[in-house]
Structure 1
Amino acid sequence: MPFYTAALTAMVAMLVAATLVAKLPLRWWWIRACEFPRLQLAFAALLTALLCLPLDPPWRWPLLASSLLVVVLQARFILPWTRLWPVQVQDAEPGQQERCITLLVANVLTPNRQAERLTGIIQRQDPDVVLTLESDDWWQERLDQALEEKWPHSVKIPLDNLYGMHLYSRLPLVDTRVEWLIQDDIPSIHTDIVLASGDKLTLHALHPRPPAPNESEESLWRDAELLLVGKEIHRHPKPTVVAGDLNDVAWSRTTRLFCRISGMLDPRQGRGRYSTFHARYPLLRWPLDHIFTSEHFTLKRLERLPAFGSDHFPILATLCFRPSRSDEHDNPEADGDERAWARKTIREARSREQES
């Protein structure tokens, strides 16, 4: 076999393997990692398809068909996060600004020391609520100096383990709780926010541990935290927003199951990927930072903001409380088997200790 044909065969085989492995319902980190670069795999498969055209039979058609199969299988997951797909959260109509809320989410990257760049972005965007992830004592000091006067309501969890979390709000926070849902070193914030109109919404701020070699060999604990919050939302339906760095892509098995379990909607569907990670590598980006909404909201604005030294871009959304338009949304819904899988995942995560 000529070298060109052998090399191309190996490339196609790897693309097919990565595509099929991602479909396995297993939690090992390297399997779940295959869900992340779907767009990159699709483009690589399209390239190999073009490279197959000069091949002589009998190699040309099997390799070309395999490459195109990868493109099709990956496109099934990618298309909902393009403008070719119907939007899942409807556009907001003008007016009633007092019933809208603007939320900015930023993973600061703990060692990053460019706090002035982030606080400058916050001052220019002027959101109602700011959520930071990975913020420690050093970041808290800088955020307090810049934000406390204009955003006086706050929840502060400074940690040096990459899971610190800070919430600053100009709107009142009520019934606020800090919880350690699955692991005792991973916090989450749960609070009601009172809009200027007097309406209330519930915010769940999350940053679960990712499946990665230096973090966790499995996705179990991340999955369980998301599904636990999803079950709580389903059990107590009310105006709700979930925000944070979920260490998972929008099209993954777990995130899609979270949406079906909870009934939450993704404002990015039908609008774009809004990839927030990795800020330094344009060819290796995917949507890790999320803002999900219940059916009670429409979308006025969604934007990925400029980089500020972190490995994540900030993301900003303006949501408008419009319960009268709830029936315009098509809520995802889990079946019985999926709810049983979620319960099993949560029980297993609570019964097992985190492996190092």
Structure 2
Amino acid sequence: MPVNWWWVRIGDFPRVQLLIAYLIWLVVLGFLYKQPYAKPAAVLLAVGVCIQLYWIFPYLPVAPRQVQWATSKDPEVRIQFLTANVLQDNDDASALLNLVEQQSPDVVVLCEVNQRWVDDLSPLRSKFPYRVEHPLENKYGLAMYSKLEILSAEVRGIVKESIPSIDAMVKLRCGHPVRLFVVHPNPPRPGEDTTKRDAELVLVGREIRDQQSAIVLGDMNDVGWSRTTDLFQEVSRLLDPRKGRGLYPTFNANSRVWRYPLDHLFHSDDFRVVSLKTLSHIGSDHLPLSVVLSYEPDAQQEQSAPDLDAGDREDAQDAVEELKKPGALDQPPED
């Protein structure tokens, strides 16, 4: 919907749960078919099923894949990511450290790190010679640890200094530079609309759009099938490796039912995907996400990014213009 009210936009999240609930009720109505309300109720539920499927179908394994599987076996062109929201109040870093040891990623990207987390993660410094650490106590601190050379890095407040992003250039083992953008925008929640989140993703998308090789990742506080994420893809021309492979939900790690894909990685069309999976629990309310990409320039001829038409361009500009309204950057205190 073209509104940014939190109580409307949060409705983007539970589409899978609604779909399952509608299907269950359709089965129940099958046993109540003689009741006068059964037929109209079944019609309404069927419409609801179609609406939810419309949004989530691109992420089901039966849908076409937006990103192809890698064809190159060359380790020099591969880059492995481990990204996670550690949960600032989670005081046990050992699970994450053990997971990093097991997975041996090239780049580790972490959200919600404060100074205590940075201190607890100090063992990573010996294994990851390049790093960017920006701890904060407001649940928006970021950190990036890399085995690959970081050519440049800047911590930027795209919409607000207290909600930073990391804008970096990393060199693959083959020598090719790749721009990395780490983001963790505001979530929709009571008392706060989605203005900052929507605008930040559009602004990052505009910067990335003309970049030859680019990757945007982090806890985006949004599901892949929302209009905001869809618009981000159109503006940035980045691809989503989830599409056609599965939902890979990461939040809430403490619930088997209310779980959504909030942690993402998007990339330019000169990459193919080697693997994509969620990882084991680390004591956070988010599951870590592991993605391995392969830099294969010929992929640009075979996989295409979504287009940005005039209507999409207007929606993107509207999202940015919302930032100029009085109170748009106000933020309620963290719990």
Tell me whether the two structures share a fold, i.e. TM-score over 0.5. Answer: yes
Match of 1:273 in 2: 247
Q: In the TM superposition, what is the alpha-carbon distance from 1:348 to its structure 2 partner?
A: 2.2
Q: Distance in 1 between matches of 2:59 and 2:92?
A: 31
Match of 1:139 in 2: 117
State the Cα deviation string for residues 181-238 of structure 1 (Å, max 9, x = none): 102210000011001110110000000011101xx5211110000010111122x231
Q: In the TM superposition, what is the alpha-carbon distance from 1:176 to its structure 2 partner?
A: 1.1
Match of 2:202 in 1: 227
Q: In the TM superposition, what is the alpha-carbon distance from 1:105 to its structure 2 partner?
A: 0.3
What SS does the aligned partner of 2:196 have?
A: helix
1:182/1:350 contact within 8 Å kept: no
Match of 2:279 in 1: 305
The answer as to 2:20 corresponding to 1:43 is yes
Instruction: Give the number of the structure whose alpha-carbon radius of gyration is greater.
Output: 1
Q: In the TM superposition, what is the alpha-carbon distance from 1:51 to its structure 2 partner?
A: 1.9
Match of 1:63 in 2: 41
Match of 1:248 in 2: 222
Check 1:352–1:238 CA distance in 2 against 1; reply closer, same or farther (3 A cut): farther
* Count of aligned pairs between the two proteins: 329
The answer as to 2:314 corresponding to 1:337 is no
What SS does the aligned partner of 1:79 have?
A: helix
What SS does the aligned partner of 2:291 have?
A: strand
Check 1:333–1:248 CA distance in 2 against 1; reply closer, same or farther (3 A cut): same
Q: Distance in 2 between matches of 1:305 and 1:82?
A: 19
Match of 1:19 in 2: none
Q: Structure 1 segments of 4 or more deviating over 6 A?
A: none
What SS does the aligned partner of 2:235 have?
A: helix
Gap runs ≥5 in structure 1: 1-23
Q: Distance in 2 between matches of 1:119 and 1:206?
A: 22
Q: Distance in 2 between matches of 1:61 and 1:239?
A: 53
2:72/2:294 contact within 8 Å kept: no
1:265/1:292 contact within 8 Å kept: yes
Q: In the TM superposition, what is the alpha-carbon distance from 1:351 to its structure 2 partner?
A: 4.5
The answer as to 2:99 corresponding to 1:121 is yes
Q: CA RMSD in A?
A: 1.1
Gap runs ≥5 in structure 2: none
State the Cα deviation string for residues 50-73 of structure 1 (Å, max 9, x = none): 222315343111000101111111
What SS does the aligned partner of 2:143 have?
A: strand
Q: Distance in 1 between matches of 2:325 and 2:7?
A: 23
1:173/1:192 contact within 8 Å kept: yes
More helix by share: 1
Aligned residue among 62, 66, 83 for 2:61: 83
1:133/1:207 contact within 8 Å kept: yes
> Please, what TM-score do these two structures have when normalized by structure 1?
0.90
What SS does the aligned partner of 1:156 have?
A: strand
State the Cα deviation string for residues 101-157 of structure 1 (Å, max 9, x = none): 00110100001012000010001100000001001001000112x210110111111
Alignment of 1:179-194 (within 5 A): 179-194=156-171
Amino acid at match of 1:202: R
> Please, what TM-score do these two structures have when normalized by structure 2?
0.96
Amino acid at match of 1:85: A
Match of 2:235 in 1: 261
Q: Which has the higher contact order (CA 8 A, sep 6+)?
A: 2
Q: In the TM superposition, what is the alpha-carbon distance from 1:77 to its structure 2 partner?
A: 1.2
Q: Distance in 2 between matches of 1:351 and 1:204?
A: 26
Aligned residue among 161, 164, 183 for 1:206: 183
State the Cα deviation string for residues 7-26 of structure 1 (Å, max 9, x = none): xxxxxxxxxxxxxxxxx321
